[in-house]
A and B are shown apart, each in its own frame.
Chain A
Amino acid sequence: MLDPLARDAVIYASTLSMLSLGLTLTYMTTRVPNFAHGSLATIGSYALLTFTSVLNWNAYYSIPAAITLSGGAAVAFYLLALRPLIRRGASFVHQMIATIAYELVLLASLNIYADVLSRTFRVTSRDVLLRRFDVQIQGFGPGVLLASILMVAVTLTLLLLLLHKTRFGVAMRASIENPTLAGALGVNVQLVYLFSWFLAGGLAGASGVLLGLWYQQDPAFGSRMLVSVFASSILGGLSSIYGAVLGGYVVGLLEIYGIFLASRVWPWILPYRIIFPLLIMSVTLLIFPRGLAGVQLSSLLARFRRSGGSVEV
């Protein structure tokens, strides 16, 4: 029932918030911004392409496969590259460079896979739109719209239950707060890190499937979204998964609606969508560098009450 712009905004912002959640999660646990995070999503998009165009299966069957593949790719990076580096006391910049090297590996692999798809299976694998494989829900719109909302709702509910109601969740929070102490108390910190990387990769893979059902795909699609993912994560404060989700929605909605509204006044601005995430990033870093998670709502409210209605900062 939503108009096309709102559909676009919901799908984009939901996937962006899931990508931002993943990036923030791996940053919170292993303290490295993953420059390859965007391409983990593209793996999901190509899983979708394979399921629909090569195997002729239902598009949504590719979600478990995408979660496994992207999650596996993320875990492989953590186990084979990042963990050895951390164990050897590699510098922070070297850990970031490792993610860059992995981004090159992923981009090259995705391009090679796209070549194989087009040469061996005669399937269009670049600049390809897969909306025709989506289901239409009567009176609602494309299935991907519902799926993107469901993905965020299910992920947040499960994470909330996991983090606050299970032993593993408590162990996870402890490992994020203080890995050394958690380790000393018998928490398997390695398992927590491994799980975080799998979750981050898996969510990226699932987002990739949904992005592939809505946007035109090519091997660099996820990579191009990285700027927006960084902006959402920084807006979210890089220290809270809820902040990351909120950041994703703010950046996503502002990108879509902001550029739409701005283009009514200045039509020439339409292609410069990249300005919005960059602007949000700059404003966040300049005004509240700890992001949305750093804004103390309770103290703001207290001040609001004390001052009798007017907020002074």
Chain B
Amino acid sequence: MIDAESLRLAYVFAVDLLAFLGVYLIVNLTLELEYGKAGIPNFGKVLSVAGGAFVAGAVPGRVLASAYNMFSGAEGITNPTIAECVRGLAPQKPAILTRMDYIEDNVVIATCIQSGVLSVDPLLSTGVLVMTLLLAAAVGAVLGLVASYPALRLREDYLAMTLLAFGEFLTAIGYYNREIIGGTLGIQVIDPFSWVGGGARFAVATLTIVLVAVLVALYVRSVGRSPFGRVLRAMRDQELAAEVLGKDTVSYKRTVLMISSAIAAIAGALWAFYSGGIIATAFDRVTWTFLPWVMVVLGGAGNYLGVALGTGVYWSARKLIDQYKFVIEPVLPFSIIWFDRLAFGVLLIVLLIVRPRGLIPEKPTYALKKSTVRRIVESLKTK
């Protein structure tokens, strides 16, 4: 029964699913850090994700294009392959021979940089990728600092409303100002994975995302066990007590928001690179704020394994629905793509009522190894 074609389909499905899982795992883990550990209800997650994605869309392409002097037309281009590529595309649009604009001639610039340098230079590609991720992290940290301003001053309810309202600020700017990421038309993002070539490109991109996700998971796990994480949980459970014990909760909250926003921005940038093009409308509050909340609360906040499970359950279900929609859709009078949000919305409400701590509830973490604690308890008993 298993032939080459179905194997190929399964492979494509797995690569795609893993990419979604990886990106959302990173975003959800940052939410886990903010809400699960520190108790800050960040309902403006989309802000930092959009920030990172906008960096990936707006910065590396511009930097490379200006490095190869592409903006002043085909004649001034320093790299012969890129110049040839631009001349090759000139019959369709003669203006690019004399002058190019990053947004207007975005497709020409992205295509020629890709075929001219990135696809033949893995080192440069990786450098561009790493530098962009670092820049995205820096932008994310600044956005986190901005978000920390209300977070330090407002009560939970006011904070939630404020962060939600400000969350879509960047999205609106990115949509209406075409200079940043192409406005209503979106933008093609340069591809730092094009040197891989062919179908393996997506596999390598996915692998990169998964690698970053694993690193972030390890980091969140270690934070959970570190003194820093203990302070965060103390602050979450009893802020006054943490302050009485001499912990500066203001600076802890600020640090958490900056770190998690920086990581979320990295996820946004990775997402932009993976998908190869972005448009501001893709960064709405349902996709990048509400869905992460659904996954985190579903799996169990305060516990990185729970978050991973929540992410896995949601995306497996959604991608399976996507995969088989051609089977289901003809018999339905509506598009099946809405079904996952309907089902998970209902599921989440039920879960909040019957199992509020999620599928895998937070467990107490021990300062010492469990076996060591047990040995001490045993020794106390024998005395």
Leading 8 A-B pairs by shortest Cβ distance: A115-B334, A271-B176, A105-B345, A104-B345, A108-B342, A101-B348, A108-B341, A108-B338
What 0/1 pattern do residues 17 to 41 of B give for CB contact below 8 A with A? 0000000000000000001000001
Does B297 sit within 8 A of A, measured CB to CB? yes
Q: Which of A52-60, A80-88, A140-148 lies at the interface with chain B?
A: A80-88
Interface 1/0 per residue, B317-342 and A, CB below 8 Å: 00000000000000001110011011
Known: A104-B344, A272-B173. 4 other contacts (CB 8 A): A98-B348, A104-B341, A112-B339, A289-B158
Residue of A nearest to B343 (CB): A108
- The answer to whether A94 and B356 touch across the interface, beta carbons within 8 angstroms, is yes
Query: Which of A90, A96, A103 counts the most chain B CB atoms within 10 A?
Result: A96
User: Are the CB atoms of B154 and A81 closer together than 8 Å?
Assistant: no
- 26 A-B pairs whose Cβ atoms sit less than 8 Å apart in the complex: A31-B157, A33-B160, A33-B161, A93-B35, A96-B157, A97-B293, A98-B348, A100-B43, A101-B349, A102-B349, A104-B290, A107-B338, A108-B342, A115-B333, A115-B338, A120-B333, A227-B164, A230-B161, A234-B158, A274-B168, A277-B165, A278-B166, A281-B165, A285-B153, A285-B154, A285-B162
Cβ of B346 < 8 Å from any Cβ of A? Answer: yes
Q: Tell me how many residues of B have a C-beta within 8 Å of chain A.
A: 42
Q: Are B150 and A81 in contact (CB under 8 A)?
A: no
Query: Smallest distance from the beta carbon of B56 to chain A beta carbons, Å?
Result: 23
CB-based contact A97/B348 at 8 Å: yes
Chain A residues positioned under 8 Å from B333 (CB to CB) = 115-116, 119-120
Min CB distance A247 to B, Å, is 13
Q: When chains A and B are docked, how far (Å) is the Cα of A202 from the Cα of B172? A: 30
Which residue of chain B is the closest to A219 with respect to CB atoms?
B338
CB distance from A267 to the nearest CB of B (A): 13
A198 within 8 A of B: no
B156 part of interface (Cβ distance < 8 Å)? yes
Given contacts A90-B352, A100-B290, contact A285 B338 (CB under 8 A): no
* A interface residues, how many (CB within 8 angstroms): 49
The residue in chain A whose Cβ has the minimal distance to the Cβ of B296 is A97
- What residues on B are CB-neighbors of A92 within 8 Å? 156-157
Residues of A within 8 A of B (CB): 27, 31-33, 35, 80-81, 84-85, 88, 90-94, 96-98, 100-105, 107-109, 111-113, 115-116, 119-120, 226-227, 230-231, 233-234, 238, 271-272, 274, 277-278, 281, 285, 289
CA distance A85 to B342 in the complex (A): 20
User: Once the chains are docked, how many angstroms separate the CA of A272 from the CA of B333?
Assistant: 37
B294, CB-defined interface residue at 8 Å: yes
Distance (whole angstroms) from the CB of B334 to the closest CB of chain A = 3
Q: Is B286 in the interface zone, CB < 8 Å from A?
A: yes
Beta-carbon contacts under 8 Å, B299-328 to A: none
Contact A230 B165 (CB under 8 A): yes
Is B169 an interface position by the 8 A CB rule?
yes
Contact of A285 among B150, B349, B352 (CB under 8 A): B150
Residue of A nearest to B289 (CB): A100
Q: Is B353 an interface residue (CB 8 A)?
A: yes
Of A90, A111, A227, A281, which is in contact with the most chain B CB atoms at under 10 Å from its CB? A227
Q: Are B161 and A97 in contact (CB under 8 A)?
A: no
Instruction: State whether A108 touches B294 (Cβ < 8 A).
Output: no
Q: In the assembled complex, which residues on chain B have CB atoms less than 8 Å from the CB atom of A285?
A: 150, 153-154, 158, 162
Min CB gap B8→A, angstroms: 31
Residue with the highest number of chain B CB atoms closer than 10 Å, among A35, A97, A116: A97
Q: Are B349 and A81 in contact, CB atoms less than 8 angstroms apart?
A: yes
Write the residues of chain B forming the contact surface with A, with a CB cutoff of 8 angstroms: 35, 41, 43, 150, 153-154, 156-158, 160-162, 164-166, 168-169, 172-173, 175-177, 286, 290, 293-294, 297, 333-335, 338-339, 341-342, 344-346, 348-349, 352-353, 356
Give Cα A109–Cα B339 distance, bound, in whole angstroms: 9
CB <8 Å contact, A105 and B293 = no
Residue of B nearest to A228 (CB): B165
Q: Which residues of B contact A102 (CB under 8 A)?
A: 345, 349
Contacting residue for A105 out of B160, B161, B164, B341, CB 8 A: B341
- CA gap between A84 and B41 in the complex, in Å: 22
Set B156, B164, B172, B338: member contacting A111, Cβ < 8 A:
B338
Residues of A within 8 A of B345 (CB): 101-105, 108
A231 and B356 alpha carbons, distance in the complex (Å): 30
> Chain B residues with Cβ under 8 A from A115's Cβ?
333-335, 338
Q: Are B353 and A85 in contact (CB under 8 A)?
A: yes
State in angstroms the CA–CA spacing of A308 and B110 once bound together: 68
| B351 closest partner in A (C-beta) | A101
Contact A272 B176 (CB under 8 A): yes
CB distance from B20 to the nearest CB of A (A): 18
Assess A108 versus B352: contact at CB under 8 Å? Given A101-B294, A272-B172. no
A123 to chain B, nearest CB (A): 13
Closest Cβ neighbor of A27 among chain B residues? B157
Query: A19: shortest Cβ distance to chain B, in Å?
Result: 14
CA distance A93 to B153 in the complex (A): 17
Bound complex: CA of A278 vs CA of B146, how far in Å?
A: 14
CB-CB under 8 A from A278, the residues of chain B are: 165-166, 169
Say whether, besides A102-B349, A234-B161, A272-B176, A93 and B41 are in contact (CB < 8 Å): yes
Q: Contacts of A27 on B, CB cut-off 8 Å?
A: 157
Contact B157 A33 (CB under 8 A): yes
* CA of A190 to CA of B163, assembled, Å: 31
Q: Report chain B residues within 8 Å CB of A93.
A: 35, 41, 156, 160
Residues of B within 8 A of A107 (CB): 286, 338, 341
Whole-angstrom distance between the alpha carbons of A263 and B161 in the complex?
A: 28
With both beta carbons as reference points, the residue of chain A lying nearest to B150 in the complex is identified as A285
| B162-A103 in contact (CB<8A) | no
What is the bound-complex CA distance between A207 and B342, given in angstroms? 24
Cα–Cα distance between A97 and B204 once the two chains are bound (Å): 36
Contacts of B160 in A (CB 8 A): 33, 93, 96
User: Measured between alpha carbons, how far is A32 from B160 in the docked complex, in Å?
Assistant: 11
Contacts of A119 in B (CB 8 A): 333-334
Distance between Cα atoms of A227 and B177 in the complex (Å): 20
Are A108 and B339 interface neighbours, CB within 8 A?
yes
Residues of B within 8 A of A234 (CB): 158, 161
Q: Which residues on the A side are within 8 Å of B349 (C-beta)?
A: 80-81, 98, 101-102, 105
Chain A residues in 8 Å Cβ range of B344: 101, 104
